[in-house]
Structure 1
Amino acid sequence: MTNASAGPRLLGPADVRQLAARLDLRPTKQRGQNFVIDANTVRRIVRESAITADDVVIEIGPGLGSLTLALLEVAQRVVAIEVDPLLAGLLPETIEAYAPEQAAHFEVVLADAMRITEVPGPAPTALVANLPYNISVPVLLHMLALLPSLERGLVMVQAEVADRLAARPGSKVYGIPSIKASWYADVRRAGAIGRNVFWPAPNVDSGLVAWTRREPPATTATREQVFGVVDAAFAQRRKTLRSTLKQFVDGSGERAESALVAAGVDPQARGETLVLDDFVRITEALLETTSGIGR
């Protein structure tokens, strides 16, 4: 199934600058505004995302519509969430001009992605986005929590953030984003993106992160309780778990050690050596020791 016989025209450098000029737009670092000006790059993102004509796609931060148009080449429907009212206002006009036969399959929502509580229309099945780099991890985790219907996705983020999200235990960059993302999905690095495909060119490198939804761990603890333990374990990376987790047992190192032993974890270990299931067992053991977690 395809949306229409004629595919969208994608934006090139001249198109992006012309659209920006219409809005008298000066991209801001505050909102992480770096617009993709290369059609091959957005096609690559869509290809790597593995979306199909059956997918309902959520896009965060569509900007001027470069990736949006490429998504409309393939997806059944695209819902774009944009916080900037000028960009959100222009986007439907751009879609109508560059993808008239796909315009009925597109909707823009003027909203802050971190504050949104629902999305219109059918349940989305994929998330594909060039995320605002300054809030990429919180936005990704929020959308994964908010929309359990999401089966897979691919996001472009700062290269260092991509490394953290896809890191494995023992890596220097393994930490809170790696573990929290693994609650929702299996995450992997999906390539690098050069700086010259953006306008303006960012002063950081970019990377692609792909993910596939997985069932969360079966546990008597809540996600918030487990995440609280993860946050504490990495608050002081050089300290042992016995030290960092004693806050959950009235400051008692001995009781923290007992909980860790009960969970089958070395009290002298550090958070960077553990996987999500380890933190789940630790949280359950702490809950048996105290009722203070998550209060």
Structure 2
Amino acid sequence: MSTTAADLLGPAEIRQLADKLGVTPTKKLGQNFVHDPNTVRRIIAAADISSGDHVVEIGPGLGSLTLGLLDTAGAVTAVEIDKRLAAELPATAQWRAPAVADRLNVVTQDAMQVTAEDVAAPTALVANLPYNVSVPVLLHFLATFPTIERVLVMVQAEVADRLAAEPGSKIYGVPSVKASFYGKVKRAGSIGRHVFWPEPNIESGLVRIDRHPEDQRSWPQDAQTREQVFPVVDAAFAQRRKTLRAALGGHYGSPAQAEEALTAAGIDPKLRGEKLDVTDFVRLAGVDVAEE
């Protein structure tokens, strides 16, 4: 893919913008700015963005990825908590991508506080997520916006591995199950440290999620179902080395009641949580167990 309307930011432009705004990247906000145009192009290509998409971007920073998204998507909503960065983003779009700058909408907000009223029916989520809140933010957006069909996010490599882990893996756990509640999760590549300013101490990874079509899953992705399933997932992995019978004892009231629920769901009570896939957890959460 090659850009046409947008002139992407390189290291010199990133420093120029940062100096203009008096911005010093902070660990608190997880700010590491991408300064490599080829990485931006790679992310957008991996997300399969087209002119029919309304993309929501979280933490656009100085606008590196935003410019590439404007060049490809029909509309882009950028959610930025830093008021200085949010205020500058439209000017950057006019400077580097004047032909498509009108596709941009900026929401100055904490991503975890964003509601469906703030962003109108996005079809895709593409972002370089702040590493310190990547999983909660990802799950919040998947829950809040059922219109999101595809996700392509850059996160810490270790987090990317956990999100995409399969049942039975040592790193399979709560993030793996909760992400797969919404869609098919896979690793979509690795990103080196040198494409960022400042250069982080950790490697990054790309994760893609394709939402499960309604006719290909056996559960609704609504709040009620989520509130049934997610506490069971949390309990199953809270004490990884315990069998499900023991680990879920607190959730169901006793190990005996947990065993009753597991048996009713067709799950061996002696298994551990890492052996169950999301369909198992959904089935288990739907079992009614009488109180003792």
- Which category describes the TM-score, using the shorter chain as reference length? over 0.9
8 A Cα contact 1:6 1:101, kept in partner:
no
Deviations 1:72-120 (A, max 9, x none): 1110011000000010011111111111111111111100110111255
CA contact (8 A) 1:249 1:289 kept: no
1:56 aligns with 2:54: yes
1:22 aligns with 2:20: yes
Among residues 242, 248, 255, which one is paired with 2:257 in the alignment? 255
Q: Paired residue for 1:112, among 110, 113, 117? A: 110
Q: Structure 1: how far apart are the matches of 2:120 and 2:235?
A: 38
Cross-structure match for 2:37: 39
SS at match of 1:154: strand
How big is the shift at 1:124?
1.0
Task: Flag structure 2 segments of 5+ consecutive residues without an equivalent.
Answer: none
Tell me if the contact between 2:244 and 2:273 (Cα under 8 Å) persists in the aligned partners: yes
Q: Choose which of 266, 274, 292 in structure 2 pairs with 1:272.
A: 274
How far 1:211 sits from its partner (Å)?
1.1
- Of 74, 77, 83, the residue aligned with 1:76 is 74
In 1, Cα distance between equivalents of 2:269 and 2:138: 32
The residue identity in structure 2 corresponding to 1:226 is V
TM-score, structure 2 as length reference: 0.94
Note the C-alpha offset of 1:225.
Answer: 1.5
Following the alignment from structure 2 to structure 1, what is the Cα–Cα distance between the partners of residues 110 and 133?
11
Q: In the alignment, is residue 172 of structure 1 matched against residue 174 of structure 2?
A: no
Question: Which residue is 2:204 aligned to?
Answer: 206
| Number of the residue aligned with 1:191 | 189
What does residue 140 of structure 1 align with? 138
Specify which of 230, 233, 236 is matched with residue 233 of structure 2.
230
Partner SS, residue 32 of structure 1:
coil
Q: Contact conserved, 2:7 with 2:96, CA < 8 A, in 1?
A: yes
Alignment equivalent of 1:243, drawn from 237, 241, 246: 246
Q: In the alignment, is the contact (CA less than 8 A) between 2:191 and 2:204 conserved in 1?
A: yes
- Tell me the TM-score normalized by structure 1: 0.93
CA distance in 1, matches of 2:268, 2:4: 60
Asked whether the 8 Å contact 1:166–1:187 carries over to 2, the reply is yes
Q: CA deviation at 1:278?
A: 0.9
Cα distance in 1, alignment partners of residues 178 and 42 from structure 2: 27
Distance in 2 of aligned mates of 1:119 and 1:67: 24
Q: Secondary structure at the match of 1:73?
A: helix
1:48-78 CA deviation, whole Å, 9 max, x = no partner? 1001111110000000000000111110011
Query: What amino acid maps onto 1:143 in structure 2?
Result: F
How many positions carry a matched residue from both structures?
A: 285
Structure 1 distance, partners of 2:145, 2:242, is 35
Q: What secondary structure does 1:109 align onto?
A: strand
Question: Matched residue of 1:114: which SS?
Answer: helix
Alpha-carbon distance, 1:289 to partner? 2.9
CA contact (8 A) 1:242 1:268 kept: yes
TM-superposed deviation, 1:288: 3.1
Distance apart, 1:139 and its partner CA = 0.4
Residue 290 of structure 2 corresponds to which residue in structure 1? Answer: 289
Gaps of 5+ in 1: none
Q: 1:73 to 1:267 in 2, by over 3 A?
A: same
Corresponding letter in the other structure for 1:256: A
1:89 maps to 87
Q: Can you list the C-alpha shifts for 1:114-158, whole angstroms capped at 9, x where unaligned?
A: 011125564211110001110000000000010001111200000
1:237-274 deviation per Cα after TM superposition (whole angstroms, max 9, x unaligned): 01111111111332x22221121111111111100010
Q: Give, as a single letter, the amino acid of the residue that structure 2 aligns with 1:76.
A: G
Alpha-carbon distance change, 35 to 81 in structure 1, aligned in 2, over 3 angstroms: same
The whole-number CA distance in structure 1 between the counterparts of 2:104 and 2:248 is 47
Letter in 2 for 1:263: A
Q: Partners of 1:98 and 1:155 in 2: how far apart?
A: 23
Fraction of identical pairs, as percent: 59
The alpha-carbon distance between structure 1 residues 257 and 120, as it changes in their structure 2 partners (threshold 3 A), is: closer
Q: Do the aligned residues in 2 keep the contact of 1:37 with 1:66 (CA within 8 Å)?
A: yes
